[in-house]
Structure 1
Amino acid sequence: MWSSTVRENLVLHFSRQCISPTKCDLINIFSQYGHVNEVKADVANSASSAQVIFKRRMDVEATFAGAEKIGALGPALVSFRLTDFPASASGNKASHVASKSE
C-alpha cells in the first residue's frame, strides 16, 4: 500500500541536440493523465532531464503506459522511467521501478 509520504513520478531524459519541452509544456501534456503536483527540470552540462511528480500513483502509471504515444515530446525524448521515493527522504533519492527507452 502506498501512503502520502511516497511521491510517484516520471523521469524524462532529453537529447541536448533538440529543444526540450518547457515546464509548462510538460504540465499541459501530462495533466491529461492526472493531477501533476510539480515539474522539475534539470538542464546541466551534457544532460537534460525533467521530473514530473504526480499526486496519485495510478496517474503516473497511466502516464507511463501511454508515454510512448505522446508525440508532443518528439525526437527530443531519449528515455523515460517510472520512479518512486519517500517525499520526506533527504536528497529525495529515487528508486528505479521501470524504464522505457528508444
Structure 2
Amino acid sequence: MPTIHYTDHEGTTLDINANQGDSVMETAVRNGVPGIVAECGGSLSCATCHVFVREEDAESLPEMSEMEDEMLYGTTVDREDCSRLSCQIKVTEDMDLHVTTPETQV
C-alpha cells in the first residue's frame, strides 16, 4: 500500500496509508494532517498545500507543470529546490514518499 510520511516543521512525522490515484494533498486533508491548508481544494489556484519533498524522493516524481512552477512563487514560506504543491502529486501504487510542511501556509 502506498505510504506518505508527513513531517511538520518541528520534526513530528505522521505516516499515512494512501489511496492510489488520490493526491498527496487529498490524503493529508482526509487524515487531518496539520500544515496542509488546501484552500482551493486542489484546483491549482493557491499555494496552501506547499510541501518540501525529500531530495531522493523528488527524483521519482513526474516533473512539475509550468502552472505549478508559477504557483510556487506565491508561497508564504519561500520555495526551495525541493518544493512542490501536494495537490499536484498523485499517489502511485508503490509510493513511499516523504514530505515536510513549511512553518505556515498563510
TM-score by length of 2: 0.28
For the pair shown, the structure with the greater C-alpha radius of gyration is 1
Q: Which structure's residues are more often helix, by fraction?
A: 1
TM-score by length of 1: 0.29
